[in-house]
Structure 1
């Protein structure tokens, strides 16, 4: 009996050992299959990326390097020297080229836009030192435009006109322009994110209702910050408001600093009351005018609410008819200091005195 029990136990142990071995063999087989599949997928991806006719490229091929003498290198907007970094929405390589691009508009004594000038009609000064203009263009390049729209309670009687003026501005812009809209009262909020669909912007604006107070500074600050993700190198901000700030957390000083550090051109339409009852409303026009002048843009004061559409169309025309002057600064020190910009006109004979509008300066890059 003892021998039979021993034999039975031996057979049971042997069966269990054989079962474990079989399971291990099955697991090993599955593992080899998985590894083979992964290796095959990796080889497929590698071959697809090496295939110039395929459609599975995850990244476009890098552009050919530009010559140091190239007169039109890629630069991150006006007033930027040694532009670098990559936009989150537009992953293009930025190269240190030491080229400053300055957009400028020219007006006559009646505040009308002047076009048709040539490179020889401009002189550029960087920290009061004359510069050689390396590039000059007047092309209607697409722009990324942020709209900052006042939705405070004081806009109730002006809202419909202002909304229609915004439509005029959008419909007379370059068809390739992209926009976003920030509305503000007690606080700013993005109403329409980046889009080129004008109908979408208009449909969303119809649903809005003015109310509460005015956080103008916060809204302008948000607009400048959001333009860091712009698709295009040229960036502009259009502010439509009827008064001063009485709700923001950011200060005027912080906004002015952000404006100086940006490469954004700012325009504003000021729908101001003739007799502003509060100090904030009295100072509103000064703030808007200052930040526009700093960037080479302009503030347009609305005398008659019926003129809103015409003013919006004029701003759109200015953005589409700018002169863009490029130069390499003779002072190439990367000290991070503020450098003053000045453009002097040398107009053709017979023209009346002209005025040039351009940004006041830029911060040099730092090491």
Structure 2
């Protein structure tokens, strides 16, 4: 709420000139200043009222950010307050993952050889919400711009893989839609914003030249921070690309808290996993499971790296998928604003002659409250 304030930065000195005036002139001048003061005081409430009048602005109630665990949240992970037009955007934690009047579901289709399938039509798809079939109202497969967050592992175990990881991220961005915007978060003991939203690949490339690997792995904190950062994204479609080589061993947020945040968002997660098959710790051995679960929950995918030389090709493949998704839109038959989880299932009946195809889509969304 804006506050109207009058500052006395400019002072008008009238006492020195009054000495040279007669009594009648002094009385007239004093009367003039008294009237002016009364008029000014009368105007203040009206001006302030015009600023706060509910008819002049839209109030969007935004629930408070989720409280951090008792151990404290990583620096920068706290959700900033939303005001003005930013409050109208869908955001993680708002319990509104999608517009209840039109639910949009991005869908990726792959064949048995894990290749992208394009060219399908609207009548090949069927959408179900809570096991009830929905009528598809909109269908597109256009290359719409995306807001993308890069979550880059900078823990000590990434030292020998850092150059490959950096190059694959740059290849990903260079093959993206020219209208995409990006931010980069690096993490080891804690997440840190390396580059804020920008469309300049050159700026990000320059910043990535300065990063160094070391310390432990706060993967969950970094993903939570990335979801929170998406609150300021300008595009309707949003995605995170996570590049990591192991499980979490440093985060303050728990797996359950991050999964809840992921479910409440409309952000797809893609992962490039560089895993050690002989990982010595439980956290490292569980790394592939964690990233795979988070990715599939959102309709994204995890790609396992067996050869570091393949990282660039994998990054380009993910970029291609984001540019060739089908987006299905439907009006839910249930319009109740109860804040409950609604399960979404996309089924595909492909044209005859095609092999069995796999559907990748988010598993559901939270209905809005009230």
Give the alignment's TM-score, normalised by structure 1.
0.78
Please, which moves more after superposition, 111-120 or 328-337? 328-337
* Structure 1 counterpart of 2:70: none
Q: Does 1:169 align with 2:176?
A: no
In structure 2, distance between residues paired with 1:191 and 1:14: 67
Q: Does the Cα contact within 8 Å between 2:103 and 2:329 map onto a contact in 1?
A: yes
CA contact (8 A) 1:87 1:228 kept: no
Q: Does 1:110 align with 2:113?
A: yes
| Distance 1:19-1:334 versus aligned 2 partners, 3 A rule | closer
Q: Note the C-alpha offset of 1:97.
A: 5.8
Query: 1:101 & 1:167 partners in 2: Cα distance?
Result: 29
Residues 150-187 of structure 1: CA deviation (Å, up to 9, x unaligned): 01111000000000000000000000000101110100
- Identify the residue that residue 245 of structure 1 maps to in structure 2: 248
Per the alignment, do residues 216 and 318 of structure 1 end up closer, same or farther by CA in structure 2, a change over 3 Å counting?
Answer: same
- Displacement of 1:89 in angstroms is 6.7
Gaps of 5+ in 2: 1-18, 48-55, 59-81, 91-97
Instruction: Verify the 8 A CA contact 1:168 1:309 in the aligned structure 2.
Output: yes
**What is the CA–CA distance in structure 1 between the aligned matches of 2:108 and 2:263, rounded to whole Å?**
19
CA distance in 2, matches of 1:87, 1:120: 41
Indicate which of 179, 183, 195 corresponds to 2:182.
179
- 1:352 maps to what in 2? 355
The question of whether the paired residues in 1 share the 8 Å contact of 2:100 and 2:332 is answered with: no
Partner-residue secondary structure (3-state), 2:176: coil
Shift of 1:90: 5.4
Deviations 1:91-128 (A, max 9, x none): 76899662111000000000000000000111111111
Of 191, 195, 201, which residue of structure 2 is paired with 1:192? 195
Q: Could you tell me how far 1:228 is from its partner in structure 2?
A: 1.3
1:1-367 pair list within 5 angstroms: 17=23, 20-21=26-27, 24=30, 98-367=101-370
- 1:89–1:230: 8 Å Cα contact kept in structure 2? no
Deviation of 1:131 after TM superposition, in Å, equals 1.1
Task: Give the greater-gyration-radius structure (CA).
Answer: 1
TM-score using structure 2 length = 0.77
Cα distance 1:317–1:90, how it changes in 2: closer, same or farther (>3 A)?
farther
Give, in angstroms, the shift of residue 194 of structure 1.
0.8
Q: For 1:290 and 1:203, how far apart are their aligned partners in 2?
A: 33
Q: Kindly state the Cα deviation for residue 24 of structure 1 after the two structures are TM-superposed.
A: 3.6
**Preserved CA contact (<8 Å) 1:88 1:229:** no
Task: Answer yes or no: is the 8 Å Cα contact 2:246–2:274 preserved in 1.
Answer: yes
Query: Unmatched 5+ residue regions in structure 1?
Result: 1-12, 43-58, 63-85
Backbone CA RMSD of aligned residues: 2.9
Structure 1 distance, partners of 2:189, 2:262, is 22
* Mapped partners of 1:148, 1:122: distance in 2: 32
- Please list the CA deviations of residues 210-269 of structure 1 after superposition, one character each: whole Å capped at 9, or x if unmatched: 011110000000000110111011000110001011111000000000000111100010
What is the CA–CA distance in structure 2 between the aligned matches of 1:255 and 1:285, rounded to whole Å? 16
